[in-house]
Amino acid sequence: MEMTHVRKGTKADLREALALIQELAVYEKEPEAVVVSVEQMEAWGFQENPHFEFFVAERNEQIVGIAFYYIRYSTWKGPMIYLEDIVVKEESRGNGIGARLFEAVANVCAERNFHGMTWQVLDWNEPALNFYRKYNASFSAEWLNGYLFTEQIREAAWHK
């Protein structure tokens, strides 16, 4: 039986991590949406106050999954972890790798004594919804996601 090892991600893992992020974007029908580069991820993730942290899952010395997360602050609850993405290579799914990655991030939350963990999932992604339901996760139908991208900010009349 092949063993899967989950560990903290490093700079050296970013190229493969970005490939998995692009795989996820294709699955979510937005392949053109990924604009970040390995160099940007290295600069943003490995500075004194990194913008993200991540885990990788390895099998046979190959990265087969990733989980990216960061700390967010809830004015009602205090610090929480935002799970940005979990991605497992398609051919490696169904082997518990996603669960190992999810639980690694949840353990960081518990170790740091944060209030909880939050994430988004597309309403049509039944495999992901079913995965999270196994953890007795709660979902909100009340909150809508709002976005304002750099182009919109720069074009706004109020922008300096």
E-state strands within the chain: 4-8, 53-59, 62-74, 78-88, 117-119
Find, among 103, 101, 25, 27, the residue nearest to 63 by Cα.
101
Give the Cα separation of 56 and 58 in Å (integer).
6
Name the one residue in this structure whose structure tokens are 């495999």. 127
Left (φ > 0), alpha (ψ -120 to 50) or beta: where does 113 sit? left
Identify whether 132 is a catalytic site residue. Answer: yes
Give the Cα separation of 157 and 59 in Å (integer).
51
Give the Cα separation of 148 and 160 in Å (integer).
16
Q: Which of 73, 82, 132, 135 is catalytic?
A: 132
Give the Cα separation of 93 and 90 in Å (integer).
5
Which amino acids are annotated catalytic? 132
